[in-house]
């Protein structure tokens, strides 16, 4: 049976065997119960692997949950959102970073392959095992990678069989070679070397299938040239990326971005950087008829957790359409 959908896109009901093939955006999040529980009680514990260095105050649990629900509401307005269960509150702080659990390989006709992450820490590995059970319950074929791999946080789908992959402290370069051999795809490699921008999702944001925001100054120029063969590279500054510009998520014609501008003192350096980031993102989105919606995730930013870290794409349906 074939269904006619808005925009003329057609699909068979039989193809809807997992969220990746649904004709609407689909994401995976985790209610950050374990993150909140551990952050509010931690003292001199080791910082998360993708957190910026330096001591931080513990999370305000009520504010953190309120902010998460705001993000959840913004996503569910236009997308299907699965919530990954939290089986326990201790030892799973990294479970909230859903984008670090793995990646869905959308270019495959079946759309049912998930490559799990392989982290270096015990907490990251424990979180990945929870993710494994979830993906298997939905019928995905779950595959373990060869080498260190931080999942979607270090691998972005551009179009067709082309991905852009980050390698460095979190993801090893051998993973990209293995992905190309095992799944008939191409990975444009970008070295991640700036500790203040620890994963690819902090420096690369696909806006459409043809245009990508990239912090060119954070990567090798020769690698950027190779990326330019597959997408139009729109340069953005490192300061804007440190403020979270690329750590955004596209949902239909909206770019969700984390911003707590109203909490910052006007005239301060932090306020100026946040304002500049917001304006740069809006300037990049406007020519494509994309809207920008800012959500306050200040508690998560304080714990080193970016918006893009909280969200794993089960599909990139939003990228099937271009408005301009």
Q: How far apart are CA 57 and CA 209, in angstroms?
A: 40
Give me the mean pLDDT over the 290-308 stretch: 96
pLDDT the model gives residue 7? 38
Cβ contacts of 221 within 8 Å, gap of 6 or more:
none
Q: Which helix (H) or strand (E) holds 37?
A: helix 33-41
Q: Taking a C-beta distance cutoff of 8 angstroms, is the pair 308, 153 a contact?
A: yes
**pLDDT, tens digit (0-9, with 9 covering 90-100), for 7-61:** 334 455 556 788 999 999 999 999 999 988 887 765 433 344 454 444 567 789 9
The DSSP code sequence of 155-213 is EEEEETTEEEEEEESSS-THHHHHHHHHH--EEEEEEE--TTS-SGGGTEEESSSSEEE
Helix (H) or strand (E) holding 249: strand 249-251
Closest CA to 182 of 161, 209, 206: 161
The partner residues of 105 in beta bridges, in order of sequence, read none
pLDDT at 37 (0 to 100): 83
CATH 3.10.560.10 fits 11-320, yes or no: no
pLDDT tens-digit readout, 124-170: 999 999 999 999 999 999 999 999 999 999 999 999 999 999 999 89
Among 322, 127, 121, smallest CA distance to 210 is for: 322
Instruction: Note whether 79 and 24 are within 8 A (CB).
Output: yes
Which sequence spans correspond to the domains of the chain? 11-320
Check: CB of residue 156 under 8 Å from CB of residue 132. no
Q: What is the per-residue pLDDT for 80?
A: 97
Say which DSSP state 280 is in.
H
Q: How far apart are CA 165 and CA 176, in angstroms?
A: 7
């Amino acid at each position: 049976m074939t269904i006619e959908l808005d925009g003329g896109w057609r699909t068979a009901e039989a193809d809807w065997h997992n969220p990746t093939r649904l004709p609407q955006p689909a994401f995976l999040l985790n209610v950050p119960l374990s993150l909140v529980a551990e952050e509010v009680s931690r003292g001199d514990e080791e910082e998360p692997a993708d957190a910026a260095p330096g001591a931080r105050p513990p999370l305000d649990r009520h504010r953190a949950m309120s902010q998460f629900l705001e993000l959840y509401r913004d996503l569910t307005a236009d997308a299907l959102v699965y919530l990954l269960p939290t089986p326990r509150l201790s030892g799973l702080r990294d479970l909230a970073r859903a984008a670090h659990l793995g990646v869905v390989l959308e270019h495959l006709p079946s759309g049912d392959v998930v490559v799990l992450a392989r982290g270096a820490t015990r907490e990251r590995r424990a979180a990945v095992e929870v993710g494994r059970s979830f993906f298997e319950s939905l019928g995905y074929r779950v595959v373990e990678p060869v080498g260190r791999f931080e999942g979607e946080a270090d691998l972005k789908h551009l179009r067709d069989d082309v991905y852009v992959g980050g390698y460095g402290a979190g993801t090893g370069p051998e993973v990209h070679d293995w992905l190309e051999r095992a799944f008939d795809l191409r990975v444009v490699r970008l070295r991640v070397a700036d500790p203040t921008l620890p994963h690819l999702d902090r420096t690369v944001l696909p806006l459409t299938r043809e245009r990508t925001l990239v912090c060119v100054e954070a990567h090798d120029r020769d690698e950027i040239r190779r990326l330019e063969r597959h997408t139009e590279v729109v340069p953005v500054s490192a300061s804007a990326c440190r403020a979270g510009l690329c750590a955004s998520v596209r949902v239909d014609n909206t770019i969700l971005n984390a911003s707590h501008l109203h909490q910052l003192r006007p005239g301060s350096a932090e306020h100026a950087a946040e304002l500049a980031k917001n304006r740069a993102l809006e300037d990049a989105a406007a020519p494509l008829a994309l809207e920008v919606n800012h959500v306050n995730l200040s508690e998560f930013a304080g714990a080193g957790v970016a918006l893009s870290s909280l969200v794993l794409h089960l599909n990139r349906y939003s990228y099937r359409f271009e408005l301009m």
